Chain A
Amino acid sequence: MTSSDPLRPSDHIDGDDSAITQPRLGFIGWLRWGWRQLTSMRTAIILLLVLAIAAIPGSIFPQRMADPNGVTQWQSDNPDLFPVLDAMSMFDVYLSPWFSAIYLLLFISLVGCVIPRIKHHLKALRARPPRTPARLGRLEDHREVTRDAADADAEAARSIDVAQRQLKSLGYRVERYDKGRTYSVSAERGYWRETGNLIFHLALVGVLLVVGIGGSFAYTGQRVVVEGQTFVNTLLDYESMNRGRFVSDDALSPYSMTLDSFDVTYQEYGSAASGQAGDFSANVSVRENGDTHEASVRVNHPLDVAGDKIYLLGNGYAPTLTVRNADGDVVYSNSVPFLPQDTNLTSLGVIKVTDGMPEQLGIAAFFYPSAAQLETGAFASAHGDLLAPLLTLDVYEGDLGIDEGTPRSVYVLDTEELTKLTGRTTDVDSTELAPGETADLPNGLGTITFEDESPVGATDYTQSVKRFVSLQIHHDDSAVWVLVFALLALAGLMLALFVPRRRMWVKATPSDGTIALEYAGLARGEDPTLGAAVDDLVTGHARLLDDPRRSATSEKPRK
């Protein structure tokens, strides 16, 4: 190896394996030895393979970060196995200590491997191409040509001058090594190969660091908004919020947003993809710094507001329900977001009436946008649009458990402390309501109304129920840097893999009336086109030497 060779770990194929020796006794010796092991190519391969294997469980078991409901489901399906697997972080694989250990080791190895290479490469970038080997014929890609020349010495010098210019224009760094009567030029190119390799590896470190650091400054919140409602970007107004360690309480930009309407189109009933919904668009009015503008949030087209990105994650129906007590006073009135259960938007909702009744009331309701009765008598929804909306509900009475201070999901009715008044297992039928209808609550408790939200003059049900959207508000300034480093890695990779690093030598030895020209190439790393490059050099050189504008010489290949 010469000083302008790229530096490689000792077990690299072009490496110098004398370095792999038994450690000298002593603590420092062992440390050195350990470090060399960690930064060897072998370790890098093993760690990469271990990383690949370690990533597999995360694709088999549901992960809390990607699919929290899946985890809950898995837990209830496998109650015995769950605690064991959970203790092994099988549901948080990518945040687990063992997964982190693997990639951290890999990156320590990477940095340890790359830093000496950077130092070395910086030197190599300034180094001159190495001395011309005494016997070029030993190299695999070697050509020889003899030319007649009247003044052999002058012609030999001239031909090397020409070769030097030729190589230089081909992008080689050149250096003359004339010795006595032999003239030679040594050339090297492809420094970008190593530069690209280093850029690639460093860019990977960049990606990891930016992802790690960026997460501490990022936040993601979820919010459900019903048509007509306004969302204000404050911590209080979010249903849930994940924020990085360094996101302060007042980090959120002050803006608010009203959901004016939500558009969706359905494939016609009976068509190939009957009922498939698409072209979702949440049409909003955004108020920011005192002025209002209209915008829309669509799938694949998040809305940018004040550095936040707002995404449309889901949608559904929010039936408006009014509950009156026995005296006819309104004790509850709200548009309640119902959670969709299937693609035809059979939806499940919960209504909690906390005050104004003798006891607290809980109502569990199903909503079918296009209700169809099955043979069993149960209902199902046959289409996602509001073709035949129907609400069925069961009433519970008792303690909703809200006052204890433990947080309760608005979407779950904890029936433990409640008595069921209607529906299965009771002798009162479930209540069924179409938009605009009112029904009596059991035991003379009052009434419940399913409000019809259709504009005046509407002829069908298609606008009778409000819709809601679930939005995700995401702020992450680091994402763009992740992209920058990823693209840098890609660019570095292409340089490292496609730029050939090679050396070329041209040597001229004069003798009586002829000169012997030798050409040789040496690859540094993968270089499948080296042979062709040497051939091109030979023909190019001959053409330049024969250029009529220069003194005429003739050529004959040596046998």
Chain B
Amino acid sequence: MPDLDSLSILFVWTAIAIYAAAFVAYAFDLARRSEVSADARLARETVLVGGAGGSAEATEAAASAEPAKPRYVMARIGTALTWLAFVFHLAATVLRGIAAERVPWANLYEFAMIGTLLVVFVYLLVLTRIDLRFLGTFITGLIVVLMGAAAVSFYVGVVPLMDPLKSVWLVIHVFVASLGTAFFALTAALSVLQLMQHRRERRIAEHAEKTGPAFLSTLPGSERLEGLAFRFAIVGFILWTFTLIAGSIWAQDAWGRYWGFDVKETWTFIIWVLYAGYIHARATRGWRGSRSAWLSIIGFTAVIFNFTIVNVFFKGLHAYSGLS
């Protein structure tokens, strides 16, 4: 019989390698965008300098630099590679589940695999409706780091479930939590870009010499980025609220109380409160904009902290990392 778990590991590393390639492609895309926008500026300046009767060449350059619908070849390659990596990633996760004869999200290694899988899935799904390929570097970069770290230091072999994990809530609660995390990841990525874009817009308004990375000029404005971030955040927040409730129901069955401020419960609560703060900030004068973006970034930092540091180093009832 083939060892499915080994095959799963092989697929994991294949996926990591392809994600890394996708990362490179996306990075080239951003660099290329910088060039394109620099060319465009140059061209525009030449046209202006040249006056009404400016050289035909410059006008042509200006026209080609800003086509009606820019075709970002590298971004396309990046997305294609991400799809390919996703397929391996999915196969690895499914194989792991078959090898373990249960849902493949019952220890830290598996949480990392399913969590990253869902981040990519949500990203690819959104791409079919909104062009967010400028997030590609961020997403694939994050995925490579998280998957790589998990494969190196969180890996554990397949072992039978511990009793408290034998519950339908494992299927629901952990899955929804991972899905929520995926939405928060996209939110955070957009919030980071929003801050960068905001700084650029301010500098432009101040007629500053340097306005930051040039690729930003091919991205939506900071308000649009903020709006997008917020839309992902509210979906994430609802999923997180559900996670909190489902976790409490499970805790009631497994530990005899629905809430006990166990470290993991505490951090789930902290994250929930932080995002509630973010949602309020978005609706508050003086907080909408950069301040709320910082809250979203802090919120996602807490998510990552909860997932890594709390799981590995904090002592509590949620001792399911499988590491010893």
Contact = CB atoms under 8 A, between A and B. Distances in A.
A152 to B, nearest CB: 39
Contact of A65 (B167, B261, B316): B261
B241 A278 contact: no
Given A13-B285, A278-B162, A41 B314 contact: no
A59 B270 CA distance: 10
Interface in A247-280: 267, 272-273, 276, 278-280
A490 B234 CA distance: 12
Contacts of B10: none
A108 interface: no
B283 interface: yes
B102 to A, nearest CB: 13
B241 A479 contact: no
Interface residues of B, number: 59
Nearest to B262: A66
A305 B216 CA distance: 64
Which of under 10, 10 to 19, 20 to 34, or 35 or more describes the interface residues of A?
Answer: 35 or more
Contact of A94 (B227, B245, B261): B261
Contact of B256 (A8, A63, A302, A487): A302
B288 interface: yes
A12 B261 contact: no
A296 to B, nearest CB: 13
Interface stretch (B40-48, B134-142, B271-279): B271-279
Interface in A41-75: 41-42, 44-45, 48-49, 51-52, 55-56, 58-60, 62-63, 65-67, 70
Contacts of A11: 284-286
Interface in B248-276: 248-250, 252-263, 266-267, 269-270, 273-274, 276
A58 B274 contact: no
Given A58-B261, A65-B261, A300-B164, A51 B256 contact: no
A55 B266 CA distance: 7
A270 to B, nearest CB: 13
A41 B160 contact: no
Most chain A CB within 10 A, of B159, B258, B284, is at B284
A487 B256 CA distance: 20
A93 B270 CA distance: 14
B83 interface: no
A311 interface: yes
B202 interface: no
A45 B277 contact: yes
A177 to B, nearest CB: 30
A56 B273 CA distance: 12
Nearest to A310: B256
Contacts of B281: 45
Contacts of B316: 66
A554 B317 CA distance: 71
B231 interface: yes
A476 to B, nearest CB: 8
A308 B307 CA distance: 35
B82 to A, nearest CB: 25
Contacts of B227: 526, 528
Nearest to B283: A13
B203 interface: no
B263 A59 contact: yes
A482 interface: yes
Chain B, interface SS category: helix
B242 interface: yes
A490 B240 CA distance: 10
A313 interface: yes
Interface in A541-559: none
A489 interface: yes
Most chain A CB within 10 A, of B163, B249, B250, B310, is at B163
A59 B227 CA distance: 33
Given A45-B277, A63-B261, A300-B167, A497 B160 contact: no
A427 B99 CA distance: 56
A525 B285 CA distance: 13
Nearest to B256: A311
Contacts of B302: 52
A168 to B, nearest CB: 29
Contacts of B256: 220, 302, 309, 311, 313, 472, 474
Contact of B253 (A276, A278, A302, A525): A302
Nearest to A277: B163
A278 B261 contact: no
Nearest to B317: A66
Contacts of B230: 526
A479 B252 contact: yes
In the A-B complex, list the 7 residue pairs whose CB atoms are closest, starting with the nearest.
A273-B159, A299-B163, A311-B256, A48-B277, A41-B284, A59-B266, A52-B273
19 contacts: A13-B284, A17-B285, A41-B280, A41-B284, A41-B285, A49-B295, A52-B277, A58-B266, A66-B316, A93-B261, A267-B159, A278-B161, A298-B163, A300-B254, A301-B253, A483-B245, A483-B248, A483-B249, A498-B234
Given A45-B287, A302-B256, 4 more contacts: A52-B270, A60-B314, A272-B157, A278-B160
